[in-house]
Structure 1
Amino acid sequence: MIVDIHAHYFPKEYTDLLVRIGGRSLPESARALTARPIRQDDSSGIPTRLQQMEEAEVQMQVLSPAASPPYAEKEADAVEAARLINDTYAELARKYPGRFNAVVSLPLPHIDASLREMERGLDQLGMLGVSMTCSCFDRSTAETEFEPLYQEMNRRGAVLNYHPIQNGICSPMINDYGFTVSVGASLEDAAIVLHLIARRVPERFPNIKYVVPHLGGIIPMLLQRLDNQAPRQHPNLPERPSVTARRFYYDIVGHGSQAALLCAWKAFGADHLVAGSDYPVLLAFETYRQNFFYLRESSLPAADVDK
């Protein structure tokens, strides 16, 4: 059975709170497109979700709020939102043991409050790791102000799931042309990998299990180029960028693209690809079952598919 590490659940109470507190970090050009989450969920949809999980042979979904994290300028607002979404996920996990769990959502950019919520989520709520978006209020989450979070996750040996926040890497070259979500999300995925490498975060915090979505965006195609350019552009790195990139894990969300899957498999190896779906977003394009079974239709070795 499959553990889907990249799934979402958007309770109405939470999404309404985000709208009220203005808790999303988006450039003006992208805000009109993504001012609210794609959908809202409630408990009435859980039986259908569970049926789709059975059809896809998914044992458990690991939930996060996708590009709608509990971020807000006012600490009290961010904490309220973080506690609400984490408590909601914890209640689902209690009600459906073994079928749902979550990664802890943090009330960023407030570091001390985030450390407290991380402790609560991991130690009291029993969550499986931590969720961070690739940036927060247009600051990469690889920057030094987030270092206390990495220190604590490193101490715990925690899983860290990244997710795009749908800001098109703050670029009008992406957002002004309507590619904030379709292309910008993959560029955000790639950007956080590059930022982590450039800031030498994995070297300093090696006990964290870094998980990047969407097959790592364009990273699989850049490894050799990064290695070739590193001596001139980043001469102080402790190892080739490709070596560091292969220390991360990447989920298989690829909109059914065999080419993207094969590229990531060749770049990272099957041991560093993990099951993920982007549920329920993927349902606009494919069935839940298809998201996983496209691996079986690929030319990957059967032993690697089973991993």
Structure 2
Amino acid sequence: MPGKIDVHQHLLPPRYFEAMAAAGSKAMGAGAPGDAQAATGGSAQWDPWGESGGTAPRRGPRAIGGWLMPEWSPEAAIAMMDEVGIETGMLSISAPGVHFGDDAAACQLARELNDYQAELVRERPDRFGHFAVLPLPDFDGAVAEAVRALDELHADGVLLLSNAHGRYLGDPAYEPLWAELAARSAVVFVHPTAPPITQLPGMPTALLDFPFDTTRTAVDLVAHGVFDRYPELRVILSHAGGFLPYAASRFSAAAMFNPDTTPERIQAGLRKFYFDTALSASPTSLPSLLAFAEPGHVLYGSDFPYAHPDWTARFDHDLGAYDGPGAERLGEVHRAAAEQLFPRLASESVPRRQ
């Protein structure tokens, strides 16, 4: 029986570490480059936190908000997937992306990382897919790289961070990019990044602010009519959409401040999103998510390798054990819903290496 399709899985190849280390604090946001620190927990077979129960250091430098960046390799990713029943992982670069202040350097780094991802997929199309990273906020460069990645590298979609140095997805500057993506009926994976606000002491941005920023950019996108102009887009929101399913009715009031739309159109737009379950499949979040999301719009996600294995195991357990409202729809989450977005992964069409 085919395994799960994981739409929320990250990669951290050596070239990305090199670029972030060279950029220093420009890349790290609130967290500066630092020494690796010990962590706890994990499986010795594929543990990115270190061997023998996670006592070895994770890899520096620090990422946005002080979150330590884990080790990663294709072999570790496949070992993890084999252990937890994932057949294919859709790879993406996480926050902070590739733009550390210089447009040309960002474009070059995006090209290198997208070429690397495409080669992984060519070698193991059964185990990997990829969302192309773009050099935003260089919008011209982002359009060019999106076209190249989709048309030449055959990327499965593109990654957009929730904001590009403070510019959210409803910003008019994104319009040429949306047009090119819609012309290809592209899948867009939206991942949160640090918002342009002060981080609270003791609260890493990834822990607290990421869900808020996902919600913020989703409402901004819909309120400014992106789905009205480009209905062909398929957009996945990370982490169950932040707080969107829980508070969607409240956001209809955005029509009061955007005269070109209505509360009904905003609600319809919000329901066009797809949602992954990464770090979000809890007994309290699943009822709202399943009540709000359209059928076929909830997808499995792990957030490997950033998510601690213990966290992933707990959320996977809660997803499997859930028997509340909407539970009858969970059968499509692990694979069938993703096959509709990524037809090449349909079980009868993917070449599999034994």
TM class by shorter chain equals 0.7 to 0.9
Kept in 2: contact 1:159–1:210 (CA 8 A) = yes
1:241 CA displacement = 2.4
1:42-191 matches, cutoff 5 A: 42-43=73-74, 46=75, 48-165=76-193, 167=194, 169-172=195-198, 174-176=199-201, 178-191=203-216
Cα distance in 2, alignment partners of residues 75 and 158 from structure 1: 24
1:12 alignment partner, one of 14, 28, 37: 14
Are 2:210 and 1:210 aligned? no
Tell me: CA distance 1:86–1:231, structure 2 relative to 1, closer, same or farther (3 Å).
Answer: closer
1:201 CA displacement = 1.1
Structure 2 match to 1:199 = 224
Q: Write the letter of the residue equivalent to 1:31.
A: G
Tell me: CA distance 1:16–1:177, structure 2 relative to 1, closer, same or farther (3 Å).
Answer: same
Cα distance in 2, alignment partners of residues 284 and 52 from structure 1: 9
Cα distance in 2, alignment partners of residues 23 and 136 from structure 1: 17
Q: TM-score, normalised by structure 2?
A: 0.77
Matched residue pairs, number?
A: 297
1:236 alignment partner, one of 260, 280, 283: 260
1:26 CA displacement = 6.3
1:103 CA displacement = 0.7
Kept in 1: contact 2:92–2:133 (CA 8 A) = yes
SS at match of 2:321: coil
Give the structure with the higher percent helix: 1
Cα distance in 2, alignment partners of residues 193 and 240 from structure 1: 14
Aligned identity (percent) is 26
Q: Write the letter of the residue equivalent to 1:170.
A: P
The gaps in structure 1 that reach 5 residues or longer are none
The gaps in structure 2 that reach 5 residues or longer are 33-61, 333-354
1:297 alignment partner, one of 308, 318, 321: 321
Cα distance in 2, alignment partners of residues 290 and 95 from structure 1: 32
Cα distance in 2, alignment partners of residues 275 and 255 from structure 1: 10
Structure 1 match to 2:69 = 38
Kept in 2: contact 1:270–1:304 (CA 8 A) = yes
Residues 60-104 of structure 1 deviation map (CA, whole Å, 9 limit, x = unaligned):
111011113111332220112101211121121122221111011
Backbone CA RMSD of aligned residues: 2.3
Q: TM-score, normalised by structure 1?
A: 0.88
1:175 CA displacement = 3.5
Q: Write the letter of the residue equivalent to 1:34.
A: A
Residues 179-200 of structure 1 deviation map (CA, whole Å, 9 limit, x = unaligned):
4121100001101111112211
